[in-house]
Each structure stands twice: as C-alpha cells, then as structure tokens.
Amino acid sequence: MQQQLEQQQQRRQHQLPAAAAGEGGPAGAEPPPKPKQQFKFCRMCGGALELVLPDGNWRHVCTQCQYVDYQNPRMVVGTIVQHEGRILLCRRGIEPQRGLWTVPAGYLECGESSAAGAARETLEEAGAQVHIDAPYVMFDIPQISQIYLLFRARLAPPFTFAAREPESLEAALFRPEDIPWDSLAFSSVSIALKHYVQDLERGSFSVHQGVIQKQPGSGPNEPGSFQLVDHVQLDTPAPAPSR
C-alpha cells in the first residue's frame, strides 16, 4: 500500500488521470467553495499555479507542466509525561499564547517515527529524556488540517528537565489537582489533560480518538468554544501509575 500510494502520489503530481474528472462526491453534490490560492509558482518548473477542481478537491496545478502541488494534513506529536504521579508541562516562551502552559509537542518530521518525534519534541522543549509508553490521544482537528497524537510517557534517567529557551520559559511537574486549567495554551491540550486526569483517578488508561471542532480564534478555556465529537474511548487493562 505504501509503495502504491507513494507512486500514485508521484504520478498524480505529474499528471491528473482523465478518469478522475467528475469523481470525488455524490452525483449532483455542490462543489466545495473555491479557497484562497495559497501558492503561486510550481516547485518543479517555476510555472504559474492555478486552482482547479479535478477530483472533488481544489488543487494547485501548474499551467505549464501540470504538476499538482498537493496539500495534506500534518501530524503533531507530543507527550504527556508522568513522574511520581505528576505531569510535565512547559510555559510557552514564544507567541502565540506566550506565558501559557502546554505539553511538549510539535510537527512530525520526515523519516522519523511518531514516538521518536514525540520524544524529540520533549527533549527540545522541556529538556527531558523520556520513555514512551503508549499512544494516548489521537485528535483530528480538520479545521486546521492537523492530527494530534500524544503519547503517555515517563521521565527516563537521569530524570531531569529544564526549560529550553526560546521555546519555553519554565518546565515543571504538576500534581493533577494543581494543573493550571485557566492558563493552558490550547484546547487540544486541555481536552487531553482532562481525560488523562480522569483516567488517573479511575486507575486505568483508555485510548481516546475523536474530532475537535473549534470556533476559530477562540481561547482554550472559553465555554462552548470547542468540543470533542465522535469520541471513541477504548478501555484497556493497562493500570495507571500510582499517585
């Protein structure tokens, strides 16, 4: 499948099959509204890009060589790190949301696994070596074309951490009852931590998957500004660490 898709993507990047025209939705469905053109020039030949609708989705296509500049969602990976019943958070050193708290997380890079990426971000933002235990939450945020995958993790030897400037101003371990709910930077983190604390309290971790719908521009703690929908909670016998 991976070879297929890689080659298919490569093929589609250079030539849109005629058979694809008209596909992509039920017959008679309205085409999606034309978005703002994000890119102007072809990466391959430098020709002018235009937005066309070859397969039910708007694509940036080169008017010269027909290269299709596909956009795909990006994956954000991070950790919820536990140490002696407390949770590692970082206070953001850069905008947006400078001064507010979050978990270590960032974009997955090409060539790395999601767990390796989560560990790398934790080292980069919190100066902490961690052991990754298991995937914990996977949240789609389709409005911004991102997928969040946060792993449960534990501090690894030498069990130290330190804020890394400029990304972080502080790094600290919080007891669940001391989490700064009113000073969290992002709603995805707020939802993830609420589930984590609930799972800690009942003594067993689930895996949580779902879709975050968020009002654009809203803060993480505004009532009604976001909700988790299509939430799938898979209970597992994995015991939570003792507090």
Asked whether position 95 contacts a copy of itself by CB under 8 A, the answer is yes
In the set 21, 23, 99, 162, which binds a copy of itself (CB under 8 A)?
Answer: 23
Residue 151 or residue 155: which is nearer to a copy of itself going by CB?
Answer: 151
Asked whether position 28 contacts a copy of itself by CB under 8 A, the answer is no
Residue 118 or residue 155: which is nearer to a copy of itself going by CB?
Answer: 118
Asked whether position 22 contacts a copy of itself by CB under 8 A, the answer is no
Draw the binding track, 204-233, toward a copy of itself (x: CB under 8 A; -: no contact). ---x-x-x--x---------------x-x-
Q: In the block, which residue shows the tokens 């992002």?
A: 186
Asked whether position 203 contacts a copy of itself by CB under 8 A, the answer is no
Q: How far apart are CA 6 and CA 186, in angstroms?
A: 33
Asked whether position 97 contacts a copy of itself by CB under 8 A, the answer is yes
In the set 51, 106, 129, 194, which binds a copy of itself (CB under 8 A)?
Answer: 106
How many residues form the binding site for a copy of itself (CB under 8 A)? 83
In the set 16, 52, 53, 138, which binds a copy of itself (CB under 8 A)?
Answer: 138
Q: How far apart are CA 90 and CA 128, in angstroms?
A: 11
- CA–chain centroid gap for 113, Å, is 14
CB of 154 to a copy of itself, least distance (A): 14
19 secondary structure, DSSP code:
G
Strands 105-107 and 68-69, bridge-based pairing? unpaired
Residues in region 30-49 near a copy of itself by CB under 8 A: 39-46, 49
- Residues found in the chain: 243
Closest C-alpha to 12, from 67, 71, 74:
67
CB of 160 to a copy of itself, least distance (A): 15
Q: Is 213 exposed, middle or buried (0-12, 13-18, 19+ CB in 10 A)?
A: middle
**What amino acid is encoded at 153 in this protein?**
A
Q: How far apart are CA 51 and CA 42, in angstroms?
A: 12
